[in-house]
Homo-oligomer: A and B are copies of this chain.
Amino acid sequence: MDERKLKVLGAVVTDYVATREPVGSKALVERHSLGVSSATIRNDMAMLEEEGYLVQPHTSAGRVPTDKGYRLFVDRLATVKPLSAPERRAISSFLSGAVDVDDMVHRTVRLLAQLTRQVAIVQYPVSSSATIRHVEIVGLSSDRLLVILIDSTARIDQYPVTLSEHSEEELSELRKILNSAVGGRKPVDADAALADLLTAPGFDRARFGPIVEAVRTMLANDPSEELVVAGMPNLMRYGASYETAIMPVLDALEEQVVLLRLLGDAVAEHPGEVSVRIGQENPYVPLHGTSLVVSEYGFDEVWASLGVVGPTSMDYPSTISAVRAVARYVGRFLAEG
């Protein structure tokens, strides 16, 4: 592809993203030093349109990039736009205040939404090597208990159980049994151990079964299937119409399953780097009008993904670098514990 044509495409994308209005040949030569006249640019643009990188909303209007155009722009033109020093500081200080993983995820998603001014999504980090650290049983009242599960990544889960007439000794005994059954094990193994325990001779299943089941329920909770979303108000920033642009995104955001698959797919395609899905490249039809910018994050055996959803006419260089930077910082933060 012609050197100048690439430059023209880049200029069209940049201007369109900035103004959100079709850009014409004259405006282009004025705003960019292309060294040729507008007539030449017109010819180039006509060719770019033939090749499917640009379209005219209507005759006698400027050009707008197509998904294909954005794609080429992202692949060949988008130079990484380094974050400003204040932005780096903001990321760093925002995240360093996090007190636990839960807090970190929430801080991250808000940070990302604020940085990119778009809708941000963060998946809970999941450690393939997480092990159960402790099971605790606490009496709340005469017949209500709270069963608590803690894993090596400081994740805590709780589940209420009703059990009449229990003594502190009983609970203490049960606590020991449970901890020796699941302590240090991975969730799957711990679950198997509990299944064995239920049928073990001498175990009072009728009485303590519910507690064991509570633990098994919590073991089955997979944090990697949780995600947090922020920045929905940013959707309104674009004058986009409710029907065509906002509703589909809102719907998609409700469907955690869909989002998880989208994130997973994107990450799988370009592991280790920021991956971009533009408009129709998206496997989920209602989001054909929007783009995803996704990255995985984590360290060692703890990995998950994060990203943003926005209009195809987003500022890719900035968004990509923001997503990348946040992913790196969060990874580093996780590594430091």
| A160 adjacent to chain B (CB < 8 Å) | yes
The answer, among B141, B236, B246, for a CB contact under 8 Å with A242, is B236
Instruction: Please tell me if the beta carbons of A141 and B232 are within 8 angstroms of each other in the complex.
Output: no
Instruction: Please tell me if the beta carbons of B140 and A152 are within 8 angstroms of each other in the complex.
Output: yes
**Which B residue sits closest to A159, measured CB to CB?**
B99
Instruction: Please tell me if the beta carbons of A139 and B150 are within 8 angstroms of each other in the complex.
Output: no
Which chain B residues lie closer than 8 Å to A146 at the CB level?
Answer: 133, 150, 154
Which chain B residues lie closer than 8 Å to A134 at the CB level?
Answer: 136, 138
| Closest CB in chain B relative to A211 CB, distance in Å | 15
Chain A 152-184 interface mask (CB, 8 Å, partner B; 1/0): 111010111000000000000000000000000
Instruction: Please tell me if the beta carbons of B154 and A158 are within 8 angstroms of each other in the complex.
Output: yes
Which chain B residues lie closer than 8 Å to A136 at the CB level?
Answer: 134, 136, 148
**Which B residue sits closest to A157, measured CB to CB?**
B156
In the bound complex, what is the Cα–Cα distance between A246 and B239 (angstroms)? 13
Which chain B residues lie closer than 8 Å to A140 at the CB level?
Answer: 133, 152-154
**Which B residue sits closest to A337, measured CB to CB?**
B144
In the complex, which of the residues A100, A138, A159, A232 has the most CB atoms of chain B within 10 Å of its own CB atom?
A: A138
In the bound complex, what is the Cα–Cα distance between A233 and B236 (angstroms)? 9
Identical copies in the complex: 2
Chain A 240-252 interface mask (CB, 8 Å, partner B; 1/0): 0010001000100
Instruction: Please tell me if the beta carbons of B148 and A152 are within 8 angstroms of each other in the complex.
Output: no
**Which B residue sits closest to A232, measured CB to CB?**
B232
Instruction: Count A interface residues, CB 8 Å.
Output: 27
In the bound complex, what is the Cα–Cα distance between A337 and B150 (angstroms)? 23
Chain A 270-312 interface mask (CB, 8 Å, partner B; 1/0): 0000000000000000000000000000000000000000000
Instruction: Please tell me if the beta carbons of A156 and B148 are within 8 angstroms of each other in the complex.
Output: yes
**A76-104 contacts to B (CB < 8 Å):** 99-100
Say yes or no: A160-B156 contact (C-beta < 8 A), given A139-B133, A246-B236. no
**Which B residue sits closest to A233, measured CB to CB?**
B250
**Which B residue sits closest to A162, measured CB to CB?**
B337
In the bound complex, what is the Cα–Cα distance between A156 and B152 (angstroms)? 17
Which chain B residues lie closer than 8 Å to A100 at the CB level?
Answer: 158-160
In the bound complex, what is the Cα–Cα distance between A44 and B100 (angstroms)? 64
Across the A-B interface, give the 7 residue pairs with the lowest CB-CB distance, nearest first: A134-B138, A233-B250, A138-B150, A146-B154, A136-B136, A133-B138, A232-B232
Residues of A within 8 A of B (CB): 99-100, 133-134, 136, 138-141, 144, 146, 148, 150, 152-154, 156, 158-160, 232-233, 236, 242, 246, 250, 337
10 new A-B contacts, CB < 8 A, other than A99-B159, A156-B156, A233-B250, are A99-B160, A100-B160, A133-B140, A136-B136, A136-B148, A148-B150, A148-B156, A232-B233, A236-B236, A236-B246
26 A-B residue pairs with Cβ-Cβ distance under 8 Å, sorted by A, are A99-B160, A100-B158, A100-B159, A100-B160, A133-B138, A133-B139, A133-B140, A133-B146, A134-B136, A134-B138, A136-B136, A140-B152, A140-B153, A140-B154, A141-B152, A141-B337, A146-B150, A146-B154, A148-B148, A148-B150, A148-B156, A154-B158, A154-B160, A156-B156, A232-B232, A236-B236
